[in-house]
Structure 1
Amino acid sequence: MSLMSDLAEIAAEQPQKIALITETSQMSYADLLDLIQRLDGPLAMKGLRPGHTLALDTSRAEFVIAAIFLASLRGLTLAVAPTLRCRDAGLIPDFSLVHKPDPALPRDTQIVVEPGWFSTPLRQRADYRGLGKDNARYAFQSSGSTGQPKLVIAEETEWRVAMAHAMSLGTDPQRGQRLLSTLAPTTNWAAGCNIETLLSGGSVVSLGAQSDRLLQYIDLYRIDTLATAPGMVPKILEMPQAGQYLASLRDAIFAGAVVSPALLDRFAKLTTARLHIDYGSTEVGVCFRAVYRPGTPQAPGHVGRLVRPDLEVLFCDDSLTPNPEATEGRIAFRRPAGQMRSYLRQSGPDASGAGFTHDGLFLPGDLMRREGEEYFILGRVKNIVNCGGNKYRLEDIAELLERAFPDSQMVPLIDTGADGLEAIALAYRAPEEIAPAAIAAALKPRFRGLALLRAQRLDAFPLTPTGKIDRRTLTELLAANT
C-alpha cells in the first residue's frame, strides 16, 4: 500500500476530523485530499509525469505534506528543498512549486500556486483509495555528517519504515493522536513525524513563526505529543506559568542535538510527560532513543537503545573496516535486508571517513560505545559544531569570519553553553579588538542558530610539537580567562 492510498482510507473514515493546523490554516482530512487534488490537476496539465522531479520552493506545512502524498500518488521524486539548492547539489528539477514567479527559474518549469485553486469548488472529489505507485523518492536537505549541505535520497518504502519506528513511543495505541511540532516541516525528521501521525488517524499542529506560543497551542488543542528541538527547552522554562499549559502532554521528543540534563530536570517539574531523546540523521532516520528519567544520574553521552529493527549497528576501525566483535569505535549503520538511503551524486566517504561507503554502510562521524543494549557518544571524528541539529564545519566558520574581518586569523572552538547546547568560543589574532556583537552579526546570516559564547584576541596561538594550532590548550586558555 502507498502513503496516498493509506491516507485516502483514513480520510474516508473520518473526513471532517482535523488533520492539520498551522498559524494560518486549519484543514480536515477531506480538505487535505482536496489540496492534493488541486495540486495534481495543474501539475498534470503542465506535463508532470511519473518519474519526474518536483522541487518545493515553499516551506508551508500544508504544501509540504500534500506534496509528499502527491509524490506517492504519481510516483514522483520530490525534492523537499528550494530549486536553487537542488541545482547546487546537482539535481535539476523538472518542475518547481512556487508561491510567486521566480525570475531566476525557467518560466515553463514553474507551477505558481494560484489563489483561484482554492476558491473554485471541485467539480468532483477524487477517490484515491487503492491508488499510488509506492515508488516515490524523497530528497531531503542534510547538513551532512561533515557540515557540507547535501541532498539525501530516500525510497518511499524505506522512508515509511523509518518514520513508523520514529513515532513508536511505546505508549498506548492512541499515542501521537495530537502532535505539535516546532520543527521546520521540510526536515526529514519533522516530515516523518507529521506524515506518520496522519497515517495513524491523528492531528498535527505545525508551528513556525508562532513557536514561542506553543504552550497556548498545547493547551488549546489538548496536545499529547510534542516534537521539538532542545533549543526550545530554555524558552519554555522562561515562560510564565508554563506548567499549567502542559496537562495534556504525555510525550515530549527532543531531536537534533544534545540536551542538558539540568534543563530536562527543570522541564520535568512542569509536566508528567515522558521525555524522549532521539539520536539520528537525515541519512538514516532516527536510530537510538533514550527515555530521560528526571533526578536519576545520567551517564555522559547516553543516547539510549536502538529503535530500528531494520538497521544493523557496527563499529569500525580507523580504516573504516567493521569489527563484529567491537563495542567501541566509529559507529556505522546498514540495512541488511533493504535499500539504504544515499547522497545525490554519492562519491563515498569524505576525508574523515564520514558518509556512505560503497558497500552499503553509513558513518555519521561519531565515536560511540555499547554497553549491553545501551549506546553512548564518545565524541566526533571531525570538527563539526551541532547547533540544534544544524551541523557546521569549523573551517567554514573561520573562513567567513576571516573574510568579514580582513587581516585576522580565526580559530573557532566547540564549546557548551550554560543550557548544555553546543556553541562556539572564538580565539583570534587581529590588528585590533573586534566587538563580540560584530562577530555574531557576521555569523548570523549563514550559520542559523549558532551562538557565540566568548571571543578573545591573542597575540599568538599555542602550537603542538608538529606546528599545528593546539586546540585543546587553546580551549583551556579561553575557559581560564572567562
Structure 2
Amino acid sequence: MDADAVDSVEALLTAPGAPFAVVRGEDGRLSYADGPRTLREFAETTWAFGDTPFVISENGCMTYGEFFAAACALARRFTDDESAGGYGLRPGDRAVIAMRNHPEWQVAFWAAQLAGLVAVPLNGWWTAGEFAYALDDCGPAVLVVDGERYERVRPWLDAASPRPWTLVCHEEGREVSGGRVERYADLPTPDPQLGPPDVDIDPSADATILYTSGTTGRPKGAVATHHAHMGAVTGPRYAAARAALTRGIMPGQGPAPIGLLTFPFFHVAAFTGFYAAMGVGGTIVVLRKWDTDAALAMIREHGITSFGGVPATALQLLERAKELGDELPTLTGFSTGGAAAPPGIVARLTDRYGERIEPRNGYGLTETLGGVLSNAGDEYRSWPGSVGRPAPAVEVRIADPLGEPVADGEVGELCLRGQPLIRGYWNSPDATGAAFTADGWFRTGDLAVRSEGRVSVVDRIKDLVIRGGENVHCVEVEAVLHDHPDVLEAAVVGIPHPVLGEEVAAVLRTRPGSTATPDDIRTFAAKSLAAFKVPTHVLLQHSELPRNATGKILKRQLRESLAVS
C-alpha cells in the first residue's frame, strides 16, 4: 500500500467523531477524545467477557469473570480498614508486584487499579539487593509476591519499619510467616456479585511506577498517570484497526485473538500485549519460562493466533518450526518487541509462510508505556528496517543536538510527545529535567531518521561507535551480520583503540555445526558495508548472548569479554 493510501486509512480512523480522534490540550499535547478515562474504567469493561478465557498458564485457565471477581475482592481487601480484616490502604499508596507470569500477577495489578493504588511491578529476576533498592525508593504499603520472590524480599521486609503488608502466592513449600504476611491461597473465595470498592480516581492520578532496566546504572522509577495509560491502551487498538483496513478487512471481525505472550508481565511490551487482548476479550497464553518446543506445543494445543516476543525468541521459534516442518497453521500474527528486530526476520517469515502470517514490529520504551509506533503487514515487508508510524496521540520529532528539528532523511535524536508518555521519574527531578524539554518532548536517546512519515531507528546514541571520526551505527552492522546463514544472534560494540579512538567489534552466536571463521564473517560483511564499518574483532560462540530479563543484550558485559579475549 502506497503512502497516500495509508494516509487515507489514518484519516478515516482519526477524523472528528471517529474511534481514534484526538484533541490538543492546553499543554500542547495530543490525547484521544473518547474512551475510558482511567485503568479502573477499562478493567470494569472486561466483566462483559464473562466465561471467555483470559489467562492460560501451567496452573490452568482463568476466565475474565473469575479474574474480575478476584481483582474486585483483592481491591476490597486492600482498602477495607484493618479492623474489618483489610489492609487499610488509601489511594496513592504503592502496591509492589513481583512474581513470574502467574495469573495472580494480573489480579494484583488490576486490584491496585480498582483500589486507586499505584501499582509498582518489579523485575522478577532481580537479586535481593536490586529488590531492596527499589523497595527503599518507592516505599510500598503492600507487596504481592510469589514464593521465589518472597525469599528475595524477606531480608528487606524483616528490616522494614513499619512493615508493609505482604501477600504471597505460589509459595511452593516455602515457609510463609510473620506479622502482616498472608497466603493468597487462604483468602476467602471471591464473591462475583461484589464489585470493586467505592473509590474515586482522577485521570491525572498516578497509576504505576515502572522501573527502567538499569543496564547502564541504577534503575529509575518511571511514573505514569491513568491518563497516560489510557493512551497506551488505545494505541494497540488503533494499530490493529489500521492494519486490518490496509488489508481490506473490517476491524473487529472474526473470533477474539489467542496470543502467546512471552514477555514478562512487568515489561512494557507485555502491557501492549495484554492491553490489546483485554480490549477485545482476547486470551493470553503464558509459559513458565521460554522453551521453543513448549511454545510450539502451546501454539498447537490452544490454537494460538498471534505470537509476541523479543527478536531472539522469535528467531528461535521460526528456526525450530522450520526444522520440525511445523506450518503453524493457526498463527496469523507474529510480533517482535523489547529490542531492535533485525530487518531479515520479515523475509524469513514471508519466505516460509507467505503472507498468511502478518509480521508486526514497532517501537516503545518504559517511558512510553509500550508501543507507540507500529509497522505491520505489507508496510513492514516493504520497509523492514522501519519501526513504522506513530499512534494518533503521539508526535514525533527528529532533533539535532540543540533540540532543533532536522529535515526528513537526516539522522537525529528521536523525541516523542503525547498522551502515553510518563510524567517523570519518581523522586528524581534532575533525571526528569534531563529527559524532558520545557514543552513536553521526551528525549529517547535513540538516533532515528524519518521518511514519508515512517521512522527508522538507527542506533542508541551511547551505542554509536566513532571510529577515526567516522560514525558507525551498530544496528546497521548487526542487520548485515544477521543475514549470514550461520549467525543466530549478533551484537556490535565499540572497543577502545589508541589511534582511532574506537574499533568495531562483533560478538556472534552461530548455529551448531557452523564452520564459519572470523575472516569468513568479515568477508561476508564487507560485501554490504564500507570498510570502516566491518568489524575488526569478531568473537564467535555457540552459547546465547547475555541478556537481561527483558531481552536486551548486555553490551557492557560483551565489551568486558572482548577486552580480555
Q: 1:287 maps to which residue?
A: 372
CA distance in 2 between counterparts of 1:374 and 1:118 reads: 52
1:49 aligns with 2:90: yes
CA distance in 2 between counterparts of 1:437 and 1:265 reads: 24
Q: 1:344 maps to which residue?
A: 426
1:160 aligns with 2:207: no
Q: 1:112 maps to which residue?
A: 167
Question: CA 1:49 to 1:129, structure 2 compared with 1: closer, same or farther past 3 Å?
Answer: closer
Which runs of 5 or more structure 2 residues have no equivalent in the other structure?
A: 1-35, 80-85, 124-130, 169-181, 245-250, 465-473, 479-490, 497-501, 512-534
CA distance in 2 between counterparts of 1:276 and 1:446 reads: 18
Deviation at 1:58, TM superposition (A): 1.9
Conservation of the 8 A alpha-carbon contact between 2:510 and 2:542: no
Deviation at 1:40, TM superposition (A): 2.7
Between 1:250-259 and 1:108-117, the stretch displaced more is 108-117
Which runs of 5 or more structure 1 residues have no equivalent in the other structure?
A: 399-410, 429-433, 459-477
Deviation at 1:54, TM superposition (A): 0.9
Among 207, 219, 222, the residue aligned to 1:149: 219
Among 278, 282, 285, the residue aligned to 2:362: 278
Q: Tell me the amino acid that sits aligned with residue 7 of structure 1.
A: A
Q: Aligned pairs, how many?
A: 424
CA distance in 1 between counterparts of 2:379 and 2:192 reads: 54
Among 121, 130, 133, the residue aligned to 1:80: 121
Q: Tell me the amino acid that sits aligned with residue 8 of structure 1.
A: E
Among 66, 71, 89, the residue aligned to 1:31: 66
Question: CA 1:278 to 1:121, structure 2 compared with 1: closer, same or farther past 3 Å?
Answer: same
Q: 1:15 maps to which residue?
A: 50
**What secondary structure does 1:239 align onto?**
helix
Deviation at 1:258, TM superposition (A): 2.4
Among 319, 322, 325, the residue aligned to 1:238: 319
Between 1:230-239 and 1:255-264, the stretch displaced more is 255-264
TM-score by length of 2: 0.64
Q: 1:173 maps to which residue?
A: 252
Deviation at 1:63, TM superposition (A): 2.6
CA distance in 2 between counterparts of 1:220 and 1:152 reads: 38
Deviation at 1:109, TM superposition (A): 0.5
Among 86, 107, 121, the residue aligned to 2:189: 121
Conservation of the 8 A alpha-carbon contact between 1:16 and 1:29: yes
CA distance in 2 between counterparts of 1:79 and 1:40 reads: 15
Q: 2:463 maps to which residue?
A: 383
Q: 2:33 maps to which residue?
A: none
CA distance in 1 between counterparts of 2:389 and 2:441 reads: 20
- Any idea what the Cα deviations from partners look like across 1:341-388, whole Å, max 9, x if unmatched? 3222344569xx97333442211112222111122223332138899x
Q: 2:268 maps to which residue?
A: 188
Question: CA 1:449 to 1:380, structure 2 compared with 1: closer, same or farther past 3 Å?
Answer: closer
Deviation at 1:161, TM superposition (A): 1.6
Between 1:28-37 and 1:98-107, the stretch displaced more is 98-107
CA distance in 2 between counterparts of 1:315 and 1:136 reads: 29
Question: CA 1:72 to 1:256, structure 2 compared with 1: closer, same or farther past 3 Å?
Answer: same
Q: 2:386 maps to which residue?
A: 302
1:415 aligns with 2:506: yes
CA distance in 2 between counterparts of 1:438 and 1:316 reads: 39
Question: CA 1:375 to 1:297, structure 2 compared with 1: closer, same or farther past 3 Å?
Answer: same
Q: 1:467 maps to which residue?
A: none
Conservation of the 8 A alpha-carbon contact between 2:73 and 2:194: no
CA distance in 2 between counterparts of 1:393 and 1:91 reads: 35
TM-score by length of 1: 0.73
Between 1:219-228 and 1:124-133, the stretch displaced more is 124-133
Query: Over the residues paired in the alignment, what is the CA RMSD in angstroms?
Result: 4.3
Conservation of the 8 A alpha-carbon contact between 1:427 and 1:455: no
Deviation at 1:252, TM superposition (A): 1.2
**What secondary structure does 1:39 align onto?**
helix
Question: CA 1:345 to 1:125, structure 2 compared with 1: closer, same or farther past 3 Å?
Answer: same
Conservation of the 8 A alpha-carbon contact between 1:311 and 1:333: yes
Deviation at 1:219, TM superposition (A): 1.9
Q: Tell me the amino acid that sits aligned with residue 69 of structure 1.
A: W
Deviation at 1:116, TM superposition (A): 6.2
- Any idea what the Cα deviations from partners look like across 1:109-139, whole Å, max 9, x if unmatched? 0322355646743456313499762545111
CA distance in 1 between counterparts of 2:415 and 2:360 reads: 22
Conservation of the 8 A alpha-carbon contact between 1:218 and 1:245: no
- Any idea what the Cα deviations from partners look like across 1:389-441, whole Å, max 9, x if unmatched? xxx9989x99xxxxxxxxxxxx9966374789xxxx9979xxxxx99899989
Between 1:176-185 and 1:337-346, the stretch displaced more is 337-346
